Amino acid sequence: GAGVSQSPSNKVTEKGKDVELRCDPISGHTALYWYRQSLGQGLEFLIYFQGNSAPDKSGLPSDRFSAERTGGSVSTLTIQRTQQEDSAVYLCASSLTTTGRTEAFFGQGTRLTVV
Amino acid sequence: GENVEQHPSTLSVQEGDSAVIKCTYSDSASNYFPWYKQELGKGPQLIIDIRSNVGEKKDQRIAVTLNKTAKHFSLHITETQPEDSAVYFCAASKNNNDMRFGAGTRLTVKP
């Protein structure tokens, strides 16, 4: 596919369990973002990857959250020991950061529900 | 890092009226300002963007203005239609890197 793909689309997990969310960016896009969107709320920045540079992790809410991007492509966001307040839609976006058009393309998101 | 503030958080207008959403940013080096529209159950999609070398850009019923001195930019939608109802996000980035978003505005257009 040509767009950003996220999986799973929905995830229900028990409190205390670990979850992994996956993002497949558009091929060739060097920038990748993770955002969290709670019900009816805005986009909360979590982490930003740009090429081979060290990621900007300043938005991660706690040390239970981590993310990696292997080979400059696929990214996984891991939440350890999930809590109910982690319930939200997790959105991934990628962009081609050149001097031209730099539109960020979003995936459909993963809706995480912690019960 | 960049901090983007967006107002109002909710906006309700009658069909045919205009809607204006305003954003401010903190980093004077930011030079790219896109606007995204998010419909229910979908990811945000780009609707219009503006770079710091211009003050205004129009695309049919949508226009954006940028005031670099004051570090604010606005989205203007004219002749609103019910299908304009959505959540709108502004964003700012520097040299096309590290895009930060505003908190969003939920626009409701009443028929």
Copy the structure tokens of residue B13.
């207008």
In terms of DSSP bridges, do strands B72-77 and B86-94 run parallel, antiparallel, or are they unpaired?
unpaired
Distance in angstroms (rounded) separating the CA atoms of residues A47 and A65 = 10
Distance in angstroms (rounded) separating the CA atoms of residues A106 and A81 = 27
Total H helices, total E strands in chain B: 0, 11
User: Which tens digits make up the pLDDT trace of A48-72?
Assistant: 998 888 898 989 999 999 999 988 7
* Nearest chain A Cα distance for residue B40, angstroms: 10
Residue A101: what pLDDT? 55
Residue B2: what pLDDT? 82
Distance in angstroms (rounded) separating the CA atoms of residues B87 and A67 = 27
What sign for the dihedral angle of Cα B83, A100, B92, A103?
positive
Name chain A contacts of B101, Cβ cutoff 8 Å.
35, 42-43, 45
Which of A9, A21, A43 to mutate: most B Cβ within 10 Å? Answer: A43
| Averaged pLDDT, B91-99 | 78
Name chain B contacts of A50, Cβ cutoff 8 Å.
97-98
**Inter-chain CB proximity A33 and B99 less than 8 Å:** yes
Residuewise pLDDT in 10s, chain A (115 residues): 579 999 999 999 999 999 999 999 999 888 899 999 987 777 888 999 988 888 989 899 999 999 999 887 999 999 999 999 999 999 999 988 655 556 789 999 999 999 9
Cβ neighbors of A73 (< 8 A, separation 6 or more) are A24, A25, A27
